[in-house]
Every structure is written in structure tokens, then in C-alpha cells.
Amino acid sequence: MATKIYESAIVETVYGEKIYITPLKIKYLRQFMDRFNLIKKVESSDDLLSHILECTVICMQQYAPNIKTVEQVEDSFDIKSVYKIVDIAAGIKMEPQKEETPKEIKKEDIQDGSTWDTMDLAKLEAEVFQLGIWKDYEELEASLSMSEISATLGAKREQDYNDKKFYAAMQGVDLDKQTKKEDPWQAMKARVFSGGATGDPNDVLALQGHNAAKAGFGIGMGLSYEKWD
């Protein structure tokens, strides 16, 4: 099964319109988090809900630009849908401890999984910008979400490492050994073959039977290959 870079969802308005929700692009996530951080100062449930609805309006700039006000958000979505939008948009889960009505949302119901306040976003963007795809940072922020930046950085760093590994090998240096970097494919095979324990990934006798099939190939089964994404 292919891995996913980010979670997405279809949220339906009370009028039956289906809206596709993905993580917010950085351009809108900045606005969202500026508003969301004000929640720390609120005292009443009404004020808390008001900020959450304002955050949802910001989300609509990306998902449904025709929904521009808090009143339109209230008219378009039930509270469960609002929770879902905020969860997918910014990774912030809201789990009401009682019945899910707007009046009962509390600060303790909010699980903020972000590290927005401590993140050096400028440094991350600078690294991604070196790919030379975007004309400026504004275009980059309008194009990528945090999930996409993370995935892009991971691929870029892996490519950079493999380039260094290749040049090191030409000099007779095993970069993996020097940096103690473990090949994830070999490590995965070792775990599969040993039932989860650490094993020898070079043990040819392990490449047999059901465990080998789970890893995508096996001795005595005919050579086959299953792509792991």
C-alpha cells in the first residue's frame, strides 16, 4: 500500500456541497496559527468557539473562497465538520469530552500537535528553495504545506546523502559505516525475518517461506518482487 504524505478528507456542507480538505499551504497556515494562538488568552467557551470559527474562515481561503465570513461558516458546517477541518488543516485535534455542541468546547479538548512557536520555518524554506523551482518565497509558501515541505526535505537530504555516499565509495570509503547509517530496506528485512527482533539481514537462509514472501521475494518460491512505498 502506498504511503501518504498527508491526510485529507471530504467535508460536506449542510447544503450537500462536498469540499476537499488537505493541510493548509504555509501562506494560510501562518494566518491560521496567528489567530489560533490567541486562544491561549480566552476565558469563555463562547470566545474560544469564536476563534475556532475565525480559524475556519481562514481555511476557507484555500478550500472554498466563496465562504468568507464566520456567519457563512456557521451556516455551512456543523460543529463536527469544523473540528474535522481544523484537524486536517493544521493538525490540531479537538475532542469534546461531553456532547459535541459548540458551547461545550474547552481548552483541554484541544490537542495542538504543532511546534509552530519553536519552528525555524525560514531555515526550512531556505533549504527547500535551493531546488530552484519557485521564483520567490511567496510562491513557495503558496505552493507547499508543512507536510509537503517535510517530504520534500526528506527526499532532498536523502539524495544529497546518496551523492556523498557515491563519491565516498569512489575513494574507497563506506559512508554508511562511518556515519553508522542503517539501510532501511535491510533493517526492515531483518525485522521481518526475525519476527521483530534484530537479525542478520545477510543471512541467505532467512530468505525463504512466508516471511520472505512478506518482504517481497524468497528462495525456492520463484523470484518475485513487490514494490514497498
Per-residue pLDDT reduced to its tens digit, 70-111 = 999 999 999 999 999 999 999 888 765 555 444 455 555 555
- Please give the pLDDT value at position 86: 93
Q: How far, CA to CA in Å, does 164 sit from each of 23, 26, 66, 174, 186?
A: 33, 31, 49, 10, 20
What is the pLDDT at residue 187? 56
**Sequence ranges of the domains in the chain:** 9-112, 121-179, 182-229
Residue tagged 476565558 (cell numbers): 43
| CA-to-CA separations, 34 to 31, 52, 66, 109, 189, in angstroms, rounded | 5, 12, 22, 20, 45
State the DSSP string of 143-204: H-BHHHHHHHHHHHHHHHHHHHHHHHHHTT--HHHHHTPPPHHHHHHHHHHTTTS---TT-G
pTM: predicted TM-score of the whole model, two decimal places? 0.66
pLDDT attached to residue 16: 95
CA angle, corner 57, sides to 39 and 79, nearest 5?
Answer: 75
Share of the chain above pLDDT 70, in %: 67
At 211 the pLDDT is 46
pLDDT score recorded for residue 37: 86
Residue pLDDT, tens place only, 112-139:
544 566 677 888 899 999 999 999 999 9
Q: Which amino acid is at 115?
A: T
Q: Mean pLDDT in the chain?
A: 76
